[in-house]
Amino acid sequence: MSTFRVLLTPGDGIGPEVLAEATKVLARIERRFRHEFVYEEETIGGAALDRYGVALRPETVAKAKASQAVLFGAVGGPKWDDPRAARRPEDAILGMRKQLGLFANLRPVRIYPEMIAQSTLKPEVLEGVDMVVIRELTGGLYFGQPKKRWESARGRQSVDTLRYSEKEVARVMHVGFQLARQRRKKLTSVDKANVLRTGQMWREIAVEVGKQYPDVELEHILVDACAMYLIRRPASFDVIVTENMFGDILTDEAAMLAGSMGMMPSASLGRRTKNGLGIGLYEPIHGSAPDIAGQGKANPLAMILSTAMMLRLSLGLEAEAAAIESAVDGVIGEGYRTPDIAAAGDNVVNTTKMGDLVAERV
């Protein structure tokens, strides 16, 4: 029997609701495959602000570093949304990413054929969509210094800084090219090279790194055009690599290809260790969804599919990951839907029922 150490950080809003369904599914994996998951749980986000005065405690980061993976729910909510607040729940996720060195955020976009008909997009546009957006996660506008607001004689001023080093761009590009090699061998680098200096350097480095992967086709698209192509010809994308904030925005758009934010998992990875695996953080791309929190309406599939990514990418458990993914396929195929992905005639279920259905099929 193998034992794995996993840190759970439920967070706020629907975070705890969807994470509970993920651990329910993992309990079935334990029984079927004879593993043991040893959990630690930490309060983060708004809940931690209320309890400890900070969104992310150093103790929590230490526990994450002592684990093989972190399963992260979601943070944030209207209670902590004061624009003047010095500390925000979101500090928790940004701090985890930065302090664990998780520079590559993989956001796969998969289409379930049974869900195509009810999409807001035309079926012929969605056919064949299968891409992974790799979002650079520890640099760019989110972290560049200076970052501040101040008062001046001419009123309020503020600044954020878009800064990248050669090393930061190159390492995330390598992740993209290596992934593209295992897929359809096409990489789209997304930048704003027509205006931004960082974008010009980004493109230059994409070309340089690409020379080491001559078998992978490299294309460059400006971010504004990419937003348009994502809903015009999404099936043409294989691997997209882009700057932190561009990736944040484009992946919420891409969620509508998958049908809902509740269908979009993610994996955040850093430097790989010798055996090819490294600590990773796994979270749905959605937030705490305050509008539906506490109502049993949250779709847990993004969290459950993130858990499958954890099994595959941080714990090396491929068959176990595939078992979860095919259980999700089964549930979708049988017509079970949470409200966010339901159409007329579907069997609408709540959060816990959806978790039960997936767990039963593992």
Write out the residues near ligand IPM by the rule CB under 6 A: 76, 90, 93-94, 248, 285, 287
CB of 299 to ligand NAD, least distance (A): 3
List the structure tokens of 238: 């294989």
Residues 150-189 touching Mn ion, rule: CB under 5 A, are none
Cis peptide before 123 (omega within 30 of 0): no
Angle at 336 between CA 333 and CA 339, to 5 degrees: 130
Task: Strands of 54-143 (E only): list them.
Answer: 69-74, 104-110, 130-136
Helix 318-333 and helix 351-361, axial crossing angle in degrees, nearest 10: 120
CB 24, CB 355: distance < 8 Å:
yes
| Positions that interact with ligand NAD (CB under 6 A) | 14, 18, 74-77, 90, 93, 260-262, 283, 286-292, 298-299, 302, 340
Q: Is 192 annotated as catalytic? A: yes
DSSP, collapsed to helix, strand or coil, labels residue 320 as helix
Strand duo 280-282 + 155-161: pairing: unpaired
| Buried/exposed 181-198: b ≥16 CB within 10 Å, e otherwise | eeeeebbbbbbbbeeeeb
Of 238, 248, 282, 336, which residue is the catalytic one?
A: 248
Please identify which of the residues 50, 130, 160, 252 carries the catalytic annotation.
Answer: 252
| Closer residue to ligand NAD in complex, CB, 141/170 | 141
Nearest CA among 245, 281, 276 for reference residue 265: 281
Give the DSSP letter of residue 292: T
Query: Among residues 285 and 332, whose Cβ is nearest to ligand IPM?
Result: 285
Q: Are strands 69-74 and 35-41 parallel, antiparallel or unpaired?
A: unpaired
Question: Three-state DSSP class for 225?
Answer: helix
User: Which token pair is 289?
Assistant: 């969804």
248 near Mn ion, judged by CB under 5 A: yes
290 binds, among Mn ion, ligand NAD, ligand IPM, none (CB under 5 to 8 A by kind): ligand NAD
Our answer to whether residue 211 is catalytic in this structure is no
CB-closest chain residue to ligand IPM: 90
CB of 157 to ligand NAD, least distance (A): 24
Of 28 and 286, nearer to ligand IPM (C-beta) is: 286
Order of strands, sheet of 239-242, starting from the edge strand that comes earlier in the sequence: 35-41, 2-11, 69-74, 280-282, 267-269, 104-110, 130-136, 239-242, 186-191, 217-222
Nearer to ligand IPM, 216 or 255 (CB): 255
Catalytic residue among 142, 164, 213, 282: 142
Structure tokens belonging to residue 284: 């749905």
Nearer to ligand IPM, 11 or 300 (CB): 11
**Partner from ligand NAD, Mn ion, ligand IPM, none contacting 94, C-beta within 5 to 8 A by type:** ligand IPM
302 binds, among Mn ion, ligand NAD, ligand IPM, none (CB under 5 to 8 A by kind): ligand NAD
CB of 159 to ligand IPM, least distance (A): 18
> Cβ of residue 187: shortest distance to Mn ion, in angstroms?
22
Known active-site residue 224? yes
* Per-residue binding letters, 190-229, with Mn ion (x by CB under 5 A): ----------------------------------------
Angle, CA 134 vertex, CA 202 and CA 176 arms, to 5°: 70
Binder of residue 77, out of Mn ion, ligand NAD, ligand IPM, none (CB less than 5 to 8 A by kind):
ligand NAD
Nearer to Mn ion, 248 or 283 (CB): 248
List residues with catalytic annotation. Answer: 142, 192, 224, 248, 252
Residue ranges binding Mn ion (CB under 5 A): 248
